[in-house]
Amino acid sequence: MPELPEVETIKNELSPHIIGRRFTGIAICDAKPIRQPSVEEFCRKLVGQKINSLKRRGKYLIFHLSNGEALIMHLRMSGALLLNPEQPDSYARVIFYFDNNDQLVFTDRRRLGALWLVENKQAIIGKLGPEPLVPEFTINTLAERLHKHKAPIKAVLLDQGTIAGIGNMYADEALFKARIHPLRKANSLSPQEIQDLYQAIRHVLCSAIDNKGASIDTYKRPEGEIGTAHFNFSVAHRGGEPCPVCGTPLQRLAIRNRGSYYCPNCQEARQT
């Protein structure tokens, strides 16, 4: 958390408020998130810059600035961006001030988030795989990428160098919708299974964006509201509950140290 739908929602809801605005000040409450450059240089170079556009790449937010540089943010597990919060946030790490007196607060309970101010954004995001919702991402693209991996399909979907933006929750949801066991080897999927998975990925992500992301833990939208995508989850975070299709209790297993939820009946394990 947050994954592609949450970051896309943040981008969509922040953009009308911040595009065209200039940074007038930065308050560093915790220097840990500032990865590049130094804290002093970060503040000096950012103040006075106008935000020309706000984009998303995978799980990263990219603020394109008037001097050609980019402010890149990765919210990691518990990061959020709150616009003019009514009450101080005890987990506030960095506060950005704008020329219209708005404040944007980067808050992060677990202190895992990261911020970069760079001339070359590819140095940070250049190794990301393709975006799963763009027209260029086809069934053949997915097939070619899965064919290279013998690892469990769940682990491959989480590899940001294979596909950008899919995280734990939406990988579970897509695999359930495609009826694929999370431990299946990625290169063992049949052409039909790859087609089903392709359609499932796109459906799950688009539906979650429509519902403004999932507020399972700390995720909040910029003005403090929650997302509602989690109300439509079939398996993610629902261990022990009945499968919505067959009623079998949903199970949880660990794959590469990540909890995975699935239905042992609908997603039957197969020899690979």
Residues marked active site are found at 2-3, 59, 258
Residue 158's alpha-carbon distances to 4, 42, 186, 198, 251, in angstroms, are: 12, 31, 12, 15, 19
Q: What is the DSSP letter of 187?
A: G
Q: Two tokens at 80?
A: 């959020």
Q: Are 212 and 227 in contact (CB under 8 A)?
A: yes
Neighbours of 67 (CB within 10 A): 13
Q: For 52, list phi and psi in degrees, rounded to 5.
A: -85, -35
Q: Two tokens at 200?
A: 């499932």
Dist CA 211 CA 202 (whole Å)? 14
Number of H helices, E strands in the chain: 7, 11
Q: Is the peptide bond before 222 cis (omega within 30 degrees of 0)?
A: no
| Owner of token pair 């950008």 | 164
- Listing DSSP states for 118-172 in one string gives ES-THHHHTT----TTSTT--HHHHHHHHHT--SBHHHHHH-TTTSSS--HHHHH
